[in-house]
Amino acid sequence: NAGVTQTPKFQVLKTGQSMTLQCAQDMNHEYMSWYRQDPGMGLRLIHYSVGAGITDQGEVPNGYNVSRSTTEDFPLRLLSAAPSQTSVYFCASSASGSGNQPQHFGDGTRLSIL
């Protein structure tokens, strides 16, 4: 099992550019989520999904878009990149549709916005 796979691992963007961070899991997990990690602030939830076709906002959703067309994939879209979105992004999945089970994290995407 690969677990949770994130691509790319590193990315540099210019302000205003858009891009999609990919996340895929092969554990048939219902719950998937995106977090950003900034120094001294822990992990903050951006968006989450409890199954295909169902998504909801987290703590810091502004500037990000998600969709869940399949159980396996949960891409995160930056609509117009801003320097404040420079961060490490983690995708996670959990077996329970409610999210009340251990979350398995991917290796992260390190994103720099110039």
Binding site for another protein (CB under 8 A): 31, 33, 35, 40-45, 48, 50, 54, 56-59, 90, 97-108
DSSP 83: G
Q: From the CB of 15, what's the least distance to another protein, in Å?
A: 26
Q: From the CB of 52, what's the least distance to another protein, in Å?
A: 12
The strand pairing partners of 25, in sequence order, are 4
Q: Which is nearer to another protein, 80 or 96 (CB)?
A: 96
Which residues 6+ apart lie within 8 Å of 109 measured at CB? 6, 7, 8, 9, 10, 11, 21, 88, 89
Q: Which is nearer to another protein, 16 or 98 (CB)?
A: 98
Q: From the CB of 79, what's the least distance to another protein, in Å?
A: 21
Residues 95/101, Cβ–Cβ less than 8 Å? yes
